[in-house]
Amino acid sequence: MNTPMLGMGIFRLEGDVAYLSVKMALEEGFRHIDTAQIYGNEEQVGKAIAESGIARDELFITTKVWNDSLTVEGFIESVHKSLKKLRLSYVDLLLIHWPAAPEGVQMEEYLAELLKAKEMGLTREIGISNFTVAQMQQAAEILPQGSIYTNQVEVHPYLQNKAVRKAADALNIKITGYMPFAVGKVLADPVMKDIADKHQAHPAQVAIAWSLQQGMMSIPSSTKRINLQTNFVAPKITLDQNDMAKIATLDRNVIPPFLTGVKSRA
């Protein structure tokens, strides 16, 4: 299937909250769900998927291998554990969560295991997350040409990550942007509010549309049905050049002070 450009991320959602959020997202039409081993909610995602009755080929499910499993001994075993929790025979996208393997383990080793997971049919696509420009270029040299599907990085109007996006484009690697609302701070920005008012929309829809119109996938998170509904129709909004130019001025190219300590395991 084609990857839905808009997905639902469940970073920081735990237990019944994670289960109910994914359940509601699927009910509202989302078909792209993004989780990770370190989030501790793969079981809840699996339960929501199993109970949804949605055909497997209509879903796009992503998970990520955590740092301590980036070894020859632990990598594939960790993927099997994830699949068991997710109640799936394969995921659509498997990512290296961070380029932070245990001491002594080189990128060549864990990327070989990532490719092996694809060859074993445990995932349809493979990719990376939180890789810098240099790390992304190194990964592209190690893996077969065209095999890196995406680099998932933090992207929002306050942190537009232009250098990474430009390098990814040159390498034909898609960008998936997480934390598109900067923990809600973007939604309160006067510029975003003005643009939203112009389009009779919500600032969240503007933030999502801004990502999608630049060819990025976006995985906002929410625990409320009304917010999921709002996010889901964001692709219907078309921002004009003036809107995009105004949002471009919001780029600080650094993690804003109010996000310090929030980012850690996304």
Annotated binding site for substrate: which residue ranges? 97
Catalytic residue among 19, 39, 149, 158: 39
**Residue 51 CB contacts under 8 Å (≥ 6 apart), including other chains:** 23
SS (H, E, C) 158-199: CECCHHHHHHHHHCCCEEEEECCCCCCCHHHCHHHHHHHHHC
39 assigned to active site: yes
Binding-site residues, please? 97
Q: Are 88 and 48 in contact (CB under 8 A)?
A: no
* Distance, C-alpha 178 to centroid of its chain: 5
Give the closest residue to 159 by CA, choosing from 193, 189, 134: 189
Please give the DSSP secondary-structure letter assigned to residue 91: E
The kind and range of the H/E element at 33 are: strand 32-34
> Using an 8 Å Cβ cutoff, are 158 and 252 in contact?
yes
Residue 32, beta-bridge partner list = 60
Q: Which residues are catalytic?
A: 39
